[in-house]
Amino acid sequence: MIRLILAALLFLTGSPVLAHPLIIAHRGASGERPEHTRAAYELAIRQGADFIEPDLVMSRDGVLIVRHENEIGGTTDVAARPEFAGRRATKTVDGEPMTGWFTEDFTLVELKTLRARERLPELRPANTAFDGQEPILTFEEVLDIAASAGVGVAPELKHPTYFAALGLPMEDAFVTGLERRGLAGADAPVIVQCFEVGPLQRLRARIATPLLQLVAASGGPFDRPELSYAAMTTPGGLAEVAVYADWIGADTALIEPTPGDPTRLITDAHAAGLKVAGWTFRAENAFLPEGDRVGEAPAAHGRLRERLARFAGYGLDAAFMDQPGLARD
């Protein structure tokens, strides 16, 4: 409970209550357990994460479930389940064609029969020892895990425009869930993320829960084809984001394109009244810039602690991390 109170003070007031950025466990301790599993979340909490992060998609019967994408061929055993072979399909999600198995074609009861698998077995072979052990979680179950441990939750709404077009209004289900748990206020230990703009703007009119606008190093929000992330991260763009959001969640390349050479993004965001979260800090060389790698092996760990320390020095307010224990160490 003390950890949650301190974390809440920092992200609500911006005061330097903690000597480090908030640690947001990205899909749990996903560098050490298959992502979005109970084991990943509970390990992250034991390692000292301030928040745990579930990505939210929807089942056919309108339940918010926790998966990185609505395509689940790579993160569950669905491909090995003959009873679901006929569900394999090709769809276009946010303009990108995908082939596989999609959550919106399964009821919650059916999804609960599947078991999670490691998404990156080549880089994280040790995680495959946990394949097949855990079911898919619902958002409600992740909220229970967080509440029992006294940590915050940073849910990301994935493809809300896509789901709305299927008659699955993600925003309605999400708001109902927060209100039922008393998490719709400004002091809720929740940070709501989305790459799209419209869902966050509509949520701002319905709930006071802190909101975070995600931005990538290229492209733009799917629901605003006229808008680019580059424009959103200019001083003027950040001021517009601050009208509806409390945070901006930036690809680390937007903050530090080259190790030791930061941009003005954090400074400009703070000037606009926004806190800044960086995504995603991962220990493996495959995810690190050349100057932070150690050796040549993609799966070997590089200088993650040094990288995080630099970002903390730039004024970063929160870090999405696959190995939250390394940050706490």
Decide if 159 is catalytic: no
pLDDT number for residue 43: 98
Is the pLDDT reported for residue 83 higher than 90? Answer: yes
C-alpha to C-alpha distance for 157 and 194, rounded to whole angstroms? 5
Is the pLDDT reported for residue 9 higher than 50? Answer: no
Is the pLDDT reported for residue 280 higher than 50? Answer: yes
For residue range 114-160, list pLDDT tens digits in order.
999 999 999 999 999 999 999 999 999 999 999 999 999 999 999 99
pLDDT number for residue 329: 65
C-alpha to C-alpha distance for 173 and 176, rounded to whole angstroms? 5
Q: Which of 36, 68, 159, 301 is catalytic?
A: 68
Decide if 26 is catalytic: yes
Is the pLDDT reported for residue 307 higher than 50? Answer: yes
Q: Is the pTM of this model over 0.75?
A: yes
pLDDT number for residue 20: 80
pLDDT number for residue 217: 97
Q: What percent of the chain has pLDDT over 90?
A: 93
For residue range 177-229, list pLDDT tens digits in order.
999 999 999 999 999 999 999 999 999 999 999 999 999 999 999 999 999 99
C-alpha to C-alpha distance for 53 and 214, rounded to whole angstroms? 14
Is the pLDDT reported for residue 19 higher than 70? Answer: no
DSSP string, 164-180: HHTT--HHHHHHHHHHH
Q: Which of 26, 36, 159, 301 is catalytic?
A: 26
The Cα angle at residue 119 between residues 324 and 77, in degrees rounded to 5: 130
DSSP string, 303-324: -HHHHHHHHHHHT--EEEESSH
For residue range 28-40, list pLDDT tens digits in order.
999 999 999 999 9
The confidence band for 11, taking pLDDT boundaries of 50, 70 and 90, is very low
Paired with 53 in beta bridges are 26
Is 52:151 a contact under the CB 8 Å cutoff?
Answer: yes
Task: Give me the mean pLDDT over the 60-64 stretch.
Answer: 98
Task: Give me the mean pLDDT over the 20-46 stretch.
Answer: 97
